Amino acid sequence: MTHRRNTYRVNYLLVSAFIVVVVASFVLAAFLARDLTVTYVENEFASRKVEVLEHNIGPFNDFFHNRIPEISFYQGYLDSAGVAVYADSVFHAYPFVERIVFYDVSLSNDEYIKYGFSADNLVVYPKGVYQFSPEGMAEDVLPVVSRNGHLPLSLSDDFNNMAVKFAAFIERVDTTKALQDDDIFKVFYTVTPGKICYMNIPRRDDLKTYKELMYGKIEHDVVYEQDILTFFIDPNRLSLTNIIPELYQRVQIQPLVYESIDTDPDLLTTETPLPGALADYKIYFSSSRTFLRSEINRRFLPVMAGVIAIYLLLAVIAYLIYRNLYVNERMFKLQYDFINNLTHEFKTPVSVIKIAGNNIQSAKQLSDPERKHYGKILDEEADKLNNLMNTLLSFTQIENKSIKIKQEEVDLHEFCDKVLAASQFKYGDLALHCEVNVKKTLYIDPVLLGSIFQNLIDNAYKYSKRDNKVLDITIKQAKKQVIMRFADKGIGIARRELIHIFKKFYRVQNQYNQQGSVGLGLAFCKELVNFMGGHISVESELGKGTTFTIVFPLD
């Protein structure tokens, strides 16, 4: 009948399925992370152009909102010399200003003025027109009045446009209220692509006077001063800085109607129009997918590192679970074997005692040899039970640190002689040799040391062949240590087993363990050695023997 052993069953199909799912999910997570990173970078390519725009039109906005309104500080009393100084500072600070035309404007009710723009009694006319460039002011002032009494067409458009808006504003203005920002921008600014016209903003009292002048409420001839400046803007001179070089390979200013002739499908492009006087142009952004790959990789690596970290954590958790299951399986097996072996170790002497007892009970009369024989059997089996119980009890006490060490000076020569005498009496066919080479006595618990010797001698005898039961014990002194070596010529221990032999309940699987072994002997020795401050190690070779080395401190 086949004996069925209880053990854990490993579901390899489930384990394989779990590994496949984990690997597949990892690959999917990596793919999704890469895809999301690519999408995110491409979305940023399309959206962050606003940051580049705002950074690069900063000087233009400063010029439009801060430097141009400075003209109003002079309240119309600028002359060509003052404008020359102003223009020089503008050209120096704002290279995109190509040239400036200055209209020195007067407002009057003189009906004899035949040029300019008139509305009712109000006449708006230029006294002089001056042009400024980065090279300086034109030496010869542009002619104010041509031979037919009109401004040249090249100059009349800007002047007439500003004059008409100003006159219309004077006609409807409520001088009891402060000017609104909307009125200021609509009346005193004219912004067209490539050009900004600006008239200085009069005070409220001046506006009231101009209105009276228009409606003839001032009878005598008067003249008031206003200034109009036209700024010609060249967007190509705008300083362009790529503040996001990791996204944009090229950043250019192009005409609004510009279309790239590059048909490369890997080229990404986007654009944003320039505002105000720059409106005929746009900022054009382009990057190849190859160029963006480095930025994608830079952002993908931390994401992938996070994914890997998560999966490593899952792997560690899976390993811990597996190790826990493995330990549980090992403990189950060890406990199962321990119970079987312990049962056998108890059952054998108990059975022998029971048989001997039955024989004594059923016998009508026992001879002296029979009585001595049964007495010897009962005594030996009782000793076996007692030794087994003592071993289990001692092992438990040592593990719980409940046993006390009774140290005393031990003469190792005498100690070894006693151990050898007892062992040779017990194992008559064991060739036991002991060599002691120490100068000092060892301060140690002799009872516990005797248990170590006895266990190692028992182990050497048990795991040696019948015709080769040999054990050489060597004790020597090395500096402040006592080294004890137990070398047998037994069957040896496989290399893979060496790391386990000191574990509780562990038994090497071989023919010499078939008759039952609890698996406590070497574990008990190791606990005793460690308990007394020593160290035990093992070296072995299959078929040649095993050597146990114990080191105790001398002091």
In this structure, are residues 220 and 121 in contact, taking their beta carbons and an 8 Å threshold?
no
- What are 222-280's pLDDT values in tens digits? 999 999 999 999 999 999 999 999 999 999 999 999 988 878 888 999 999 999 999 99
In this structure, are residues 447 and 406 in contact, taking their beta carbons and an 8 Å threshold?
yes
In this structure, are residues 517 and 523 in contact, taking their beta carbons and an 8 Å threshold?
no
Question: What residues are paired with 190 via a beta bridge?
Answer: 197
Read off the pLDDT of each residue in 43-61 and give the average, rounded to a whole number. 95
> Given this model, what pLDDT does residue 348 score?
66
Q: How far is CA 180 from the centre of its chain?
A: 55
For 4, 39, 56, 497, the CA distances from 243, given in Å and listed in that order, are: 77, 21, 9, 66
> Given this model, what pLDDT does residue 146 score?
45
Helices (H) and strands (E) in the chain, counts: 12, 17
**Percent residues over pLDDT 90 in the chain:** 42
For 80, 98, 228, 333, 397, the CA distances from 76, given in Å and listed in that order, are: 12, 23, 9, 106, 110
First to last CA, the chain: 59
**Percent residues over pLDDT 70 in the chain:** 86
> Given this model, what pLDDT does residue 150 score?
59
Residue 144 DSSP class: S
- The Cα 252–Cα 94 span in angstroms is 19
Amino acid residing at 398: I
Gyration radius of the chain over CA positions: 55
Residue 63 DSSP class: I
Residue 197: burial class (beta carbons within 10 Å; 0-12, 13-18, 19+): buried
- The Cα 117–Cα 142 span in angstroms is 19
- What are 497-554's pLDDT values in tens digits? 888 888 876 777 655 554 445 567 788 888 889 888 899 999 998 888 999 999 999 8
In this structure, are residues 417 and 411 in contact, taking their beta carbons and an 8 Å threshold?
no
> Given this model, what pLDDT does residue 521 score?
78
> Given this model, what pLDDT does residue 141 score?
47
Q: Which residue has the tokens 């008559």?
A: 428
Contact residues for 48 (Cβ-Cβ < 8 A; gap 6+): 244, 247
Indicate the domain borders of the chain: 58-237, 404-553
Question: What residues are paired with 119 via a beta bridge?
Answer: 122
Between residues 550 and 346, the one the model is more confident about: 550
- What are 269-287's pLDDT values in tens digits? 999 999 999 999 999 999 9
- What are 455-495's pLDDT values in tens digits? 899 888 888 888 889 999 999 998 889 999 999 998 888 88
- What are 138-182's pLDDT values in tens digits? 544 454 444 444 566 667 888 999 999 999 999 998 888 888 889
- The Cα 273–Cα 555 span in angstroms is 91
pLDDT of 306 over the 70 cut: yes
CA nearest 227: which of 85, 67, 105?
Answer: 105
Give just the sign of the alpha carbon dihedral 199, 200, 201, 203. negative
> The domain 404-553 is classified under which CATH number: 3.30.565.10, 3.40.50.720, 3.40.50.300, 3.40.50.2300?
3.30.565.10
What strands lie across the sheet with 281-288, from one edge to the other?
Answer: 250-255, 281-288, 267-273
Contact residues for 439 (Cβ-Cβ < 8 A; gap 6+): 477
Q: How far is CA 55 from the centre of its chain?
A: 32
Contact residues for 515 (Cβ-Cβ < 8 A; gap 6+): none
Between residues 385 and 52, the one the model is more confident about: 52
- What are 85-115's pLDDT values in tens digits? 999 999 999 999 999 999 999 999 888 787 7
Q: How far is CA 153 from the centre of its chain?
A: 69
Token code pair at residue 536? 């035990």
Question: What residues are paired with 130 via a beta bridge?
Answer: 102
- The Cα 313–Cα 212 span in angstroms is 86
Residue 72 DSSP class: G
> Given this model, what pLDDT does residue 192 score?
94
Q: Which residue has the tokens 């719980």?
A: 400
**Ramachandran assignment for 533, one of left (phi > 0), alpha (psi -120 to 50 degrees), beta (any other):** left
Contact residues for 237 (Cβ-Cβ < 8 A; gap 6+): 95, 96, 98
In this structure, are residues 132 and 87 in contact, taking their beta carbons and an 8 Å threshold?
yes
> Given this model, what pLDDT does residue 3 score?
45
- What are 393-448's pLDDT values in tens digits? 766 776 666 667 788 888 999 999 988 888 887 888 889 899 999 887 888 888 88
